[in-house]
Structure formats: structure tokens, C-alpha cells
Chains A and B, each alone.
Chain A
Amino acid sequence: MSDEPPVIEMTDIEKSYVSGEVVFRALRGVNLTIRSGEFVAISGPSGSGKSTLMNLIGCLDRPSAGRYLLAGHDVSGLDADARSFARNQLIGFVFQGFNLLSRTSALENVELPLIYRGMSSRERRARSVAALTRVGLGAKLENTPAQLSGGQQQRVAIARALVGEPRVLLADEPTGNLDSQTAMDVLALMQALHREQGLTIVMVTHEPDVASCAERLIVVRDGLIASDGPNPSVHLAQPAEVVA
């Protein structure tokens, strides 16, 4: 276990945005290491740089300075296509707004990352059905997002994130669009995946009770990590529906 490189290893990461003559430093030297099997919550007030950090962790953007090793690979200087490849192979995304393709069945949504891997349709389908079954939607394969509740849509999104067997699940405000009970269902599912499969999860949230479901709490403030430590009292989310 100790021989394995950390899933995320960031050293002196900076990110600046230039607009006209004004330079805005969103991140000002972040050092962050996340090991395989951790469940981390990143929180902070808006404007703190947590979204920027999230984008950098997810290889959606490139740091202005510093080094970022993702699963041992240096991804700091990759071009857009290479970052696409890294996202496809190593990262699973769950967004606040679900971001499913409309008028497209749950199954096809989940298949999408595998399509861009060029996987055969049979294998793709088998793995997607398994992923949807795992999140409790084995009976809703052909439903489109419009035919699913918010909680169900987010579970389709989680299945889509999991289907490629990523090294890390990145969740950006995963409960932001859900009512509190549905939010608990989704968090319970994430906790179960973490517990049972050792899935590494990095979750960005500004809600303290959502963050309290994680095992490690990181607070970002003014472009720097303000605090980083284990969660003394992990809250176990109680699902209303039976999941898994």
C-alpha cells in the first residue's frame, strides 16, 4: 500500500487568471496529497478558490505553476486532448446539476465514457448495466433523465462516474440540487461505495452537514489550504430508500 503513489499529489500549485491588466490569483501555492481509499471533503466560502482547485484536480484546467501528479502521472503540462484522456481513464465526475444528456436513456448516459475509450458495445453494455444496478437503478435502464427524479438522476451520474473504474470520484456539490432526504440517500450511496469498494472520493461542498459525511476535512480560504485534518465525528448518512 505504501509503495503505491498517492492518487493526488499537488506541490505548490498556483492558478492565476489575467483579465486586462488585473491578475487574479485564485490559488496561491497549494500542497495537497490524497491517498487511495480516502473520502475527502473540500469546503470553503465562495471565492475561496475551491472551485478552481476542483477543476485542477479534475484535469479540466491546467495550473499556472506547480506540479500535479495524478496516480503517479505528471498532468501539470498536458494539452487539452491529453487531459481528456486522463479524465476518461482516471477520474469520474459527479456534478451539482447532474449533467446527464437529455433525451438519452440512463444506460446510454452511463455508456458514454466507455464509448470514448473505444470499448466494444457488448462489454460497454454489460459494465453499464452493472454500474446502474450497483446504484439501485437496474430497473430504469431505458428511462431518460426527464423520467427520473432528481435523486435518481444523480445516481445515474454516479453510475456514469463509476463505470470507467476511475482512481478517484470527484463530486462537485453533489447534493446541491437535492432536497435534504434525497441528499442523504446520495451521500449514503457514496459512503457505501467508499466503504465497500475502497473508492477514493473527493467532494467539494459548502454545506457543513454534507462535509461531515467525509472522513477528512479540507478548508480552502483565499487561495490557500486553511485547515486539513481527519473528521473527528463522521456522520453516517441514513438512506430512506434501500440502496444496494
Chain B
Amino acid sequence: MTPWLMALRLALRSLSRNKLRASLTVLGILIGVAAVVAMTALGEGAKGSIETQMNNLGVNLLWVYPGASNSGGARGEMGSRPTLTEDDGVAIAREITSVAAVAPVLTVSTQVVVGARNTATRVTGTTLDYLRVRAWTMRRGRGFEDLEMRSAAKVCVIGETVRAALFDDDEDPIGRTIRLGKLPCTVVGLLASKGQGSFGQDYDDTVLMPISTVRARMRGSAARDVNNIVVSVREPELMRRAQNQIGALLRQRHHLQPSEEDDFMVRNLQDIMATMEQTRSTLATLLLAIAAIALLVGGIGVMNIMLVSVTERTREIGIRLAIGARSGDILAQFLVEAVVLSVIGGAAGLILGVGAGKLLGRAMEWAVSFSPTAALIAFSTSAGIGVVFGYFPARRAAHLDPIQALRHE
């Protein structure tokens, strides 16, 4: 048996004699490691879902919203003033070279009915470019045609969630007529499924129609104002520039004086993501701080209990020294014991952390991802704590005077 294996066996035996004490001692390390593991899992998961969402939405999108009304000092919500029109979109597409495609959006929430089945959804009135901007694809059927756009034709493209709500799986929705509010409308296409966004929004719960149809037949007004305009930029590097150019163009088109505020807003997906990322990293920092404190407390607990153990076993140390143990042997014995104690705490913390991570992930509908890194972190932190906080008591044991130690009662 090698000396280290011997020390390990000795440590396990010594710890098993004081199981309750050992388990109370490792509590701090357990909580600390659990927090680290849960944090890593949640952090990785959140990062992963942010990335997925970026890819789903497209990294190079800009949203232009009408500005908020500002009457009598009470500022209304974003888009409360109808200042943005379809023509603004046309101008952006025409004048700004860094822009790849532009689609105006006019939405109406309505009830969709087919026979006895119905669902509530949001109807997006837009142009042919919308699919291109959003990088959405058709699963079946086709998009709108130019003629349908101009004539405000009663056609629509539906998302997977709407299809599932209205039709059986073996039914072909293409060519069927559905009723949007009072408007009967022919389904010409089915969108490929996009899945769920990380905030729970369902991109498949949608119906697309020509913007002219929504305006003329559902809004019943000739005003060309829109809810927002989606812009895709050629290169992600051109985002800032496009944003500034759009701002300048719209100020000019809306005849704003230099002293006046913008009556529109240009939002960039990366800004939104950055906010999310910041929230995530704040949370991660908080968890890390909790973990650090717990680990520190845990380490002090280990040190405390090892000091008690050294005192209790002074006589044993004296015996060992008398029959030939060197200071290094005693140091190793107590150091191994501290490390074993900590690593047991770390292992329990790993299990607890994985459990807590899963539970939290489920409760918050947050993606969690566990990596071998987490296990490695758990192991190395706890072993490190054992070494750092076990060293002082072990050194004290190793430097005991054998004569004094043998006399100890």
C-alpha cells in the first residue's frame, strides 16, 4: 500500500468516526460548490439560449418604431403616436445603401375561425420582403404575389401553431379558406416552424397577409401608418452606420427641428441582447459572490474542525512521532484528511448543484446546461480549499513536540 493510499484510508476511517461532525463541517463547502455548479449551468444555459435566439432572429436586424406621444408632460408608451408610415419604409429601402431589405409591419389581433375550430392570433400585414428580412422560410405553398399586394387580395400565410389549432395533422391547409374576424381569406402558404423564443414568445403563432389587405379590409382606414418597420442590414458591421443613417433620414422626412426629439426609435437586436446578457451576468456575479462567501465560511469550518481534531488527537500524534513518524508524515495525514473532507463536501455540492440548477431552470423556464467543467470546478475548488485551510492545522500537528504530545491527556 502506498503512503498516500494509506493516508487516504486513515483519513476515511478518522472521518467516519465523527460522521455528524464531518457532515456539518462540509456544509459550507457543499453550499458553495452547489452555488458554483448551479451558476455555471444557468449561465451556460442562458448564454446558449441567447445565442440560439440571436441566430433565430438574425443578428443584423433593426426595428424602427414610431415615437411616444408627449403631450402635457405625460409620456405615452412607445409607438403611441402614429408617426411612422409605409412610405418611410420605402424611403429607407431606396436611400440607404447599407440596408438589404425593408418590411413594414401592421398588426391586428383577431380571432381565426375554420368551421367549428378557432384560435386567437396576431395578423401581421406586411410586404413580400418580410420573409427575406426575417430569414423565414416556407414549408409549403407560396408567399404573396405582386398583384395580390396591389389588389389587397384576401390571401394569407399561416404559422405552424395556427395550422395545428385549426386543422388536423393530415389535412392540407393550402387552398382552404379561413375567416379572420369577418374576413374570409385563402391560405396560400405554410411557414416553416421557428420554435419558441427564449422569453416564451411563439414565432409560429402568426398569420401573414399583404399589408394592403390588412389596412383596407381589417383596419378600414386609408392612413398609411405602420406599427413598425423591420430592416435587415447587409453586414453586421454596418449596423451602427445604418442605424445613424435611418435616424437622419427619418428626422429629415418628419421635418424635425434640431431642438426637437426624435419621433421614432431605432432598436437594434444586439442592444436588446446586451441588456439580457447584462442581466445574466449580474445574476452570475451575485451567485458567484454567494459561492465565494460560502466557500470561505466552509473553508474556515474545515480549518476549525481540523484544529479541534489535531488537539483531540495530540496523544495519537505523539505516539506516531515517538515510533518514527516524521513531520512530513503527520502533515500529509492531516492534509489528506482535510482534502478528503472538502472533496466529499464538493461531491455532495455537485449533486445538489445539478439538482438545484435543474429545478431553477424548470421554475424559471430557463435553459440549463451542465458541462464537465462544472464537475472539474467543484472538485478542484473543494480540494483547493482542503489544502489551503487544512495546511495550518496540519502544520501545527506536524510540529508538535513528541514529549509534550505524549503527556497530553
Contact = CB atoms under 8 A, between A and B. Distances in A.
A81 B6 CA distance: 20
Contact of A93 (B17, B315, B323, B326): B323
A160 B3 contact: no
A127 to B, nearest CB: 14
Contacts of B17: 103
Contact of A55 (B323, B325, B326, B403): B403
A113 B320 CA distance: 8
A116 B322 contact: no
Identify whether the interface residues of B are mostly helix, strand, loop, or mixed: helix
Contact of B326 (A85, A99, A101): A85
By size class, the interface of chain B is: 20 to 34
Interface residues of A, number: 26
B327 A80 contact: yes
B77 to A, nearest CB: 74
Contacts of B329: 116
Given A81-B327, A81-B328, A93 B6 contact: no
B316 to A, nearest CB: 6
A171 to B, nearest CB: 13
Nearest to B328: A81
Contact of B322 (A89, A99, A103): A99
A115 B325 CA distance: 9
Contact of B6 (A60, A84, A115, A117): A115
Contacts of B328: 81
Contacts of A181: none
A112 interface: yes
B265 interface: no
A88 interface: yes
Contact of A84 (B316, B324, B403): B324
B320 to A, nearest CB: 7
Contacts of A101: 316, 319
A84 B406 contact: no
Given A60-B403, A99-B406, A81 B326 contact: yes
B321 interface: yes
Contacts of B406: 95, 99
Interface in A115-171: 115-118, 121, 160, 164
Contacts of A121: 1
Contact of B323 (A61, A103, A160): A160
Contacts of A58: 322
Interface string B1-16: 1010010000000000
B3 A117 contact: no
A87 B322 contact: yes
Interface string A73-110: 00000001100110111000101000111010000000
Given A81-B328, A99-B315, A112 B320 contact: yes
Closest A-B pairs by Cβ, 8 of them: A88-B324, A116-B324, A81-B326, A113-B323, A84-B326, A99-B319, A121-B1, A116-B325
Interface of A: 55, 58, 60-61, 80-81, 84-85, 87-89, 93, 95, 99-101, 103, 112-113, 115-118, 121, 160, 164
Given A81-B327, A85-B326, 19 more contacts: A60-B402, A80-B327, A81-B326, A81-B328, A84-B321, A84-B324, A84-B326, A93-B322, A95-B406, A99-B315, A99-B318, A112-B320, A113-B323, A115-B6, A116-B320, A116-B324, A117-B324, A118-B3, A121-B1
